[in-house]
Amino acid sequence: LTFFFFMSKEHLFQWISALYERFGPGAWLSAMAFLLVGFLQIFNPLSPGLLVGILGMKILYLYWLLLLLGFAYIDSFERLLGWLKMILYASIPVNIFGIMQYIKGPDFLVSVFGPQIERAINMAALEVAINPTTESFLRIIGTFASTGQYADFLAFNGMFGIALIFSVTGIRRWERFLLIFCQALNFVALLAAGSRSRFICFMLALVFFIFLCRRSRAVLVSIFMAGLIFYGAFTWLGQGVILRYKVLGHSQLVKERTLSTTSKMFFE
């Protein structure tokens, strides 16, 4: 709906042309090739039907419309700063709700959303190699449609938080404390979500920040904060979360879970 009003008010093809110039031909051609693959997957003979292919196209490329909107309207550093702060502040109730889901369990989700939500809840089994007696692990969804979407949101939110707390000048002191609170809440929710791939993604972003940041104080504070919050979050969330991430130390298990699964999905 937002994009519809954008098209009715703006010169659409002029904005697309400007975006192409900003991207450059190499990145643009890569994006168009990816778009072509997305279009062709509609007619994949392995797909259950044409409608499923169209739905897949919509899921993959809906956010491309937001790319054009962001390019058109977030045209200054001040607007970008305000936009990122708004996302982080809006994450507070989302993450509190997500942590409540972890504490109360799947019955709480069913009571809130109804029995149809069971399809979106991912009950991930904790590997027998770690602890044979441990039960399955609830992958929480926050306010998103799936566990993966929520974990993506948390990983990128954490990156925004690092940037705003340590890299940006001109933020008031009370805002910085509020952003630290948002970041702490985000850490806890990320661990409770149980997404090991997004956890690694965020940790790599933190490592990159530490290497690229030229201010030793910011680096030391970020390391101390991350260590303190993660230790507190692991301790509070309990043994189930610790076992979930302990699997990352078993290289053979990770290899079986990732490499073989990825290659089979790519082949299809």
pLDDT means over runs of 10, the chain (268 residues): 88 92 93 92 86 86 87 89 92 93 83 75 56 63 85 91 80 87 90 83 85 77 80 78 69 65 65
pLDDT of residue 36: 93
Please report which helix (H) or strand (E) contains residue 91, including its range. Answer: helix 77-104
Pick left, alpha or beta for residue 105 (phi over 0 → left; psi -120 to 50 → alpha; otherwise beta). left
Pick left, alpha or beta for residue 50 (phi over 0 → left; psi -120 to 50 → alpha; otherwise beta). alpha
Please report which helix (H) or strand (E) contains residue 137, including its range. Answer: strand 137-139
pLDDT of residue 148: 84
Is residue 136 within 8 Å of residue 125, measured between CB atoms? yes
pLDDT of residue 92: 95
pLDDT of residue 34: 92
pLDDT of residue 136: 61
Prediction pTM value: 0.74
